[in-house]
Chains A and B, each alone.
Chain A
C-alpha cells in the first residue's frame, strides 16, 4: 500500500483474511487481481479443489471463503457444507455469475451467508465481506429474490 485512500479502513484494523475457491484459473486470477486492489482484504490462499481448500483453511485460518459454484471434486454447495461442518466460524460467501434462484437457494441451504454476483460492480464484494463480518447476511441486489428463509 503506497498511498492511503479516504475509503481505506483504519490502519490499526487487521485485514479480512480471504480464501478463494474456484475451479477456473482465469476466474481465480481476475478475482485475485480485484481483491488485491481493494483495501482491507487479504487473500491468504486460492485453490480449485475442495480437499486443498480444507487444508488451506486449517493452515491459513481465513475469515471468509469466497466460493464459486464449480469446485474440483465437489460442487459449491457441497463445499459450503463441508466448511460449515469443519469450520463453523468461517463465513461462506458465494462469488459467482450463476443468478438462478435454485443456485442461490442451494447455496444458502448449504450454509452460505453471502451470495455475490460477478456481473455486479466489484464494490459489492467489499460490501458483502463487510456485512458477513458483522454477522449479517448479504445477497447481491441484482438477485431479485423472494426471501425464502
Chain B
C-alpha cells in the first residue's frame, strides 16, 4: 500500500523528470534545426559546386578526347605514310587503332575510323558495321551522325552531339563525339564520350557531400549528447545537493528535538527541586514544629501547626498534579481533546485567577498526534499568557467548521508577532507551536495587538482523520 511519503517521492521524481525533459527538449530542437540547416547548406553547396565543376569537367573531358584523337591521328598518319614503301602498313595501323582503349571504362573509350564518304573502316565495338556505308545513319534525335562527324573532320576537327549505343550499358545514350581528318589515309578518326559518364561525376560529388553531411550530423549529435549528459549530471548534482541540504535540515530538526527535550527535562527537574522539594521540606518543618509543640504540651499550637502542614501538603499535591498534567495530559487519552482542553482552561483559571471562558464544539474523531499537537499549542499559549500577557480575560475555543480550529485569545498586552517569530530561540515558543501544527499538516495563525491576541491553529478535515 503506498503511503503518503512514497506518493510524495514519486511525485517529486515525476517533477524532476519533467524538468529534465523541459531542459532537454529545446536542446534536441536546436540540434535538429542545426542538423537540417547544415544538410540544406551542404546540398546547396554541392549543387553550386557541381554547377561550377561541370564546365571544367566537361572541358577537361573534351580536351582529353581531342588529345586522344590527335594521338590516334598521328599513329594513322605514320602508318599511311609508311604504307607507300611497305604495303600493308595501313592495315597494321588500322589494327593498332582498334586495339587502343583508354580510361577506366575501357569498353566505352575507343577509336572509330570512317572513310570520308561514310563507310565504316574500323569500329571495335561494332565490327559488323565495317565496310558498311553509314552516310545516311540518323540517331533518334534526327542527327546524321557520320555526316556531321565527317563535316567536323573536314573543317579541321570538331565536336558533334548525338546518340549512340553505349557498350557498357547497352543503352542508346547521348554522346559527344570528336573527329579529325587524316589526309595521309583519307580517313576520319574519332572518339567520343558518353555524357552519362560526365553525369556520374556529379553523382560522386553528391555522394561525397552526403557523406560529409552525415559526418557533420554525427559530430553535432555527439556534441548534443555530451551536452545532454552534462545537463543530466548538473541535474543530478543539484538533486544531490538538495538531498544533502534536506538531510542537514532533518539533522538540525532532530537536534532541536533533543534540545527541547533536554530543556523540558531541565525545567521539570528544577520544578521538582525548587517547588516540590521546597514544599515538602516546608511541610516537614511544620509537622516537626507540631511534634515539638506537642512534646512541650502546647496542644493548641500543635493542632494549628498540623492544620497548616496539611494545607501545605495539599498545595504540594496540586503542584505535583499540575506538573504531571504539564508533562503528559492523561485526560487526553482517557476522555479526548474537548475534556482535556476544558480541564486545562479550568486549572489555568484556578491557578492564575484569570477569567477563562472555554467553548468546545463537539469534535469528530481526531487522531492522537493531532489532538496532542492542539493540546500542546493551547498549553503553550496559556503559559505565554500567564507569564507575559497580564491579561484579565482568556477565551479558549475549539471549533469544528471546515476541519478543526483551536483558538486561544486574551485581552493582555500583546506582542510583536514578527519580532517574536524572528527570535533565534523561537521566542514565546511560537516556532515550536507552528512546527507542531505543521507536522500535522495544519497552519498556525497569530494575530496580536494591545488588548487582543488570538492564536489559531487550524487542521483541515483530511489531516486529522487519516
Contact = CB atoms under 8 A, between A and B. Distances in A.
B298 interface: yes
A122 B279 contact: no
B288 A122 contact: yes
B298 A2 contact: yes
B277 interface: yes
B289 interface: yes
Contact of B292 (A2, A38, A118): A38
A26 B293 contact: no
Given A33-B305, A33-B308, A37-B301, A27 B288 contact: no
A24 B278 contact: yes
Interface residues of B, number: 22
Interface string A8-36: 00000000000000001011011101101
A3, A26, A118, most chain B CB atoms within 10 A: A26
A64 B203 CA distance: 124
B285 interface: yes
A38 B283 CA distance: 16
A39 B289 CA distance: 11
A30 B293 CA distance: 14
Contacts of A39: 296
B296 A122 contact: no
B284, B297, B298, most chain A CB atoms within 10 A: B284
Q: Would you call the interface of chain A mostly helix, strand, loop, or mixed? A: loop
Nearest to B277: A97
B281 interface: yes
Contacts of B298: 2-3, 37
A97 B278 contact: yes
B292 A119 contact: no
A134 interface: no
A129 to B, nearest CB: 15
A5 interface: yes
A121 interface: yes
Contacts of B283: 30
Interface string B49-76: 0000000000000000000000000000
Given A27-B282, A33-B289, A97-B281, 7 more contacts: A24-B282, A26-B278, A33-B285, A37-B293, A37-B296, A122-B285, A122-B288
Interface of B: 277-279, 281-286, 288-289, 291-293, 295-298, 301, 305, 308, 312
16 contacts: A3-B297, A5-B295, A26-B278, A26-B279, A30-B281, A30-B286, A33-B305, A34-B288, A37-B289, A37-B296, A37-B301, A97-B281, A119-B284, A121-B288, A122-B289, A122-B292
